[in-house]
A and B are shown apart, each in its own frame.
Chain A
């Protein structure tokens, strides 16, 4: 996993609630056996509309959405496809549980903003579609123009992202505890 420290980028607006993982990557693209080839399927239906900002993100690495982003299927192909499409961060009001976890495990930063800073960011982007936003994972802040907002992230996930470390290493290092648990349970 590529470390995530900070990011300064333009923003693609997708101002909808409940963007489901079937929209992010439809099931017909899930026949892959590796993580490649998913960029083509990213937002396949919505990107076919040339008027959609998704059609040509022009190098933007931040997606701005509403509530409950990534609901539905557990497919990790959703963050893989977003990363393949050049995105490194999704700013939203809230995220579906499985998507948030999948995103964190792949270095795609899910930033949940409260209502007021989210609304301010939406307004700023409407005023200036070329607006650049800075996301700082070390400081856990999002900033643009003279605005600054904090976002929550659990400490463990933040350490993994900052270090570019896969959580599997943490689990493998607890092998003795896992074995002890299995012995305890087996004896019960």
Chain B
């Protein structure tokens, strides 16, 4: 038998139909739905008078345009409220489970599905959201789709897809203390570029990946799309199985499932279409200086002299000067949250910096947990007290300031250190300027008021 990669195994197990010159019909195990990219898909079903084929394989949440202040639907603007109410009504009509604003399970789609144990190794997972790549952390094949494809999956539980190519991304060596999954993935994107993964599914391998928690692996796979990749995957191992054990959505016969999941790892001798190796031990905390996630450097590395029109335009937009590092750059806003970095591990990292320190005067720091479950767990450990004592705002869960469609915005011209995933022009609000970094770097910058390497703060080395 031919040696297969993790991706090959998951893809091959989901092929419903193949015909020459036609895209493959691929079966989808789990379809995640949120309010922003689904209304037109449900409307399409209604126009055709067809139902949802597998409501039990569909799970909805409300996250993008939801408020992060207490108050629920009552305080959402008219347009956003209509979207949220429409999703609730359609889920009720079609028998789709929904984590609405009153649900204890509510939160960001890519946080709640894993924490409820709904994402399993070997699954195909899609959502009308590019950061669906997050779920690849479990050894699932997970990718973002458009609204037309949301309609396809609702109607048929299938998608038409051409087989992407495989791409091994190996991180050899151990990451140094204070270097997070966010830093590893930013280093990768700097190396291969924002289009470097186009047409490919990444499989992350190597010692530094094995050492990551599930939260770290989710951060890593989440940002795969920022390298243009179709998806990112990590082969499931004991870390994965321990995370899933006991979660509400875990398989009933868990041991049998684990035995199956162990078979998913890439076979010895399987080949990838492309491969790259990075030395994790050489990576230090990173930060973006431009308007794409690939425009990033080590914290102490000078912003490079522009070598392209894009770099010149980015520096002009960001109002930053090449030739000196970002360390010491005054910041206005710090945002800790988003589907990239809003899980309990991320909040613990941030709290380790905030503990016994205060947010610098003039800086606004916002901490937005990824879900209600994360919020409860953080509060049970007293992390909320650490944040509020330091002067940071402790909010309700949601996508919030990552894409600024719920009213949480970075004001025009302000410079934000954000743990989110995109530093595009205006992403965090018109005229906003974003520096992407890890929760450690974001928290350290909040307490000093300038871009800071957390490893240089007392007690954090």
Partners in one complex: yes
Those of B72-93 within 8 Å (CB) of chain A:
77, 79-80, 82-83, 86
**A90 on interface, CB distance cutoff 8 Å:** no
Interface string of B143-170 (1 = CB under 8 A from A): 0111111011001111010101000000
B146 & A74 in contact (Cβ 8 Å cutoff): yes
A171 & B65 in contact (Cβ 8 Å cutoff): no
Those of A140-188 within 8 Å (CB) of chain B:
154-156, 166-168, 170-172, 174-175, 177-178, 181-182, 185
Those of B180-213 within 8 Å (CB) of chain A:
194-195, 198-199
**Inter-chain contact total with CB atoms closer than 8 Å:** 166
Known: A76-B146, A181-B16. A68 touches B194 (CB 8 A): yes
A168 & B152 in contact (Cβ 8 Å cutoff): yes
Q: Chain A's nearest CB lies how many Å from the CB of B263? A: 13
**A57 on interface, CB distance cutoff 8 Å:** no
B310 & A27 in contact (Cβ 8 Å cutoff): no
B425 & A102 in contact (Cβ 8 Å cutoff): no
Q: Chain B's nearest CB lies how many Å from the CB of A158? A: 10
Stretch at the interface among B18-26, B101-109, B344-352: B18-26
**B129 on interface, CB distance cutoff 8 Å:** yes
**A45 on interface, CB distance cutoff 8 Å:** yes
A98 & B23 in contact (Cβ 8 Å cutoff): no
A174 & B17 in contact (Cβ 8 Å cutoff): yes
B146 & A105 in contact (Cβ 8 Å cutoff): yes
Interface string of B283-327 (1 = CB under 8 A from A): 000000000100000000000000001100100000000000000
A98 & B146 in contact (Cβ 8 Å cutoff): yes
Known: A18-B194, A45-B425. A30 touches B155 (CB 8 A): no
Known: A97-B228, A170-B160. A72 touches B83 (CB 8 A): no
Pick the contact of B25: A26, A32, A74, A174 (CB < 8 A).
A174
- Using Cβ atoms and an 8 Å threshold, which residues of chain A touch B80? 31
**B27 on interface, CB distance cutoff 8 Å:** yes
CA distance A30 to B404 in the complex (A): 11
A72 & B422 in contact (Cβ 8 Å cutoff): yes
Known: A33-B83, A168-B151. A155 touches B21 (CB 8 A): yes
- Using Cβ atoms and an 8 Å threshold, which residues of chain A touch B44? 168
Those of B13-48 within 8 Å (CB) of chain A:
16-17, 21-23, 25, 27, 36-37, 39-40, 43-44, 48
**A67 on interface, CB distance cutoff 8 Å:** yes
- Using Cβ atoms and an 8 Å threshold, which residues of chain B touch A120? none
- Using Cβ atoms and an 8 Å threshold, which residues of chain A touch B86? 33
A68 & B43 in contact (Cβ 8 Å cutoff): no
Q: Chain B's nearest CB lies how many Å from the CB of A10? A: 23
B152 & A178 in contact (Cβ 8 Å cutoff): no
- Using Cβ atoms and an 8 Å threshold, which residues of chain B touch A20? 292, 422, 424
B27 & A178 in contact (Cβ 8 Å cutoff): yes
CA distance A18 to B285 in the complex (A): 25
Known: A32-B79, A171-B25. A72 touches B43 (CB 8 A): no
Known: A73-B130, A76-B147, A156-B22. A175 touches B230 (CB 8 A): no
Known: A22-B425, A28-B405, A45-B430. A177 touches B310 (CB 8 A): no
B65 & A31 in contact (Cβ 8 Å cutoff): yes
Those of B370-417 within 8 Å (CB) of chain A:
403-405
- Using Cβ atoms and an 8 Å threshold, which residues of chain B touch A31? 36, 65, 77, 79-80, 82-83, 405
B37 & A74 in contact (Cβ 8 Å cutoff): yes
CA distance A75 to B150 in the complex (A): 11
**A96 on interface, CB distance cutoff 8 Å:** yes
- Using Cβ atoms and an 8 Å threshold, which residues of chain B touch A97? 164, 198-199, 228, 230
A177 & B198 in contact (Cβ 8 Å cutoff): no
Q: Which residue of A lies closest to B87 (CB)?
A: A33
**B136 on interface, CB distance cutoff 8 Å:** no
A22 & B228 in contact (Cβ 8 Å cutoff): no
**A2 on interface, CB distance cutoff 8 Å:** no
Q: Which residue of B lies closest to A168 (CB)?
A: B152
Q: Chain B's nearest CB lies how many Å from the CB of A181? A: 4
- Using Cβ atoms and an 8 Å threshold, which residues of chain B touch A28? 404-405
Pick the contact of B426: A17, A45, A177, A182 (CB < 8 A).
A45
CA distance A97 to B146 in the complex (A): 11
Q: Chain B's nearest CB lies how many Å from the CB of A66? A: 9
Pick the contact of B310: A16, A45, A96 (CB < 8 A).
A16
- Using Cβ atoms and an 8 Å threshold, which residues of chain B touch A30? 36, 64-65, 405
Q: Which residue of A lies closest to B317 (CB)?
A: A45
CA distance A74 to B127 in the complex (A): 9
B155 & A22 in contact (Cβ 8 Å cutoff): no
| Most B CB within 10 A of own CB, among A31, A101, A156 | A31
Assuming A22-B426, A33-B86, A178-B27, what are 13 further A-B pairs, CB within 8 angstroms?
Answer: A30-B64, A30-B405, A31-B65, A74-B145, A75-B36, A96-B228, A168-B48, A171-B155, A171-B158, A171-B160, A174-B25, A177-B17, A178-B156
**Across chains A and B, which 6 residue pairs bring their CB atoms closest together, nearest first?**
A31-B79, A68-B195, A102-B146, A76-B146, A74-B144, A33-B39
24 residue pairs of the A-B complex, CB under 8 angstroms, read A18-B292, A20-B292, A26-B426, A68-B194, A71-B228, A73-B130, A73-B422, A74-B146, A75-B146, A76-B147, A96-B198, A97-B199, A98-B146, A101-B149, A102-B148, A105-B146, A155-B21, A166-B148, A167-B152, A168-B151, A168-B155, A170-B160, A172-B155, A177-B16
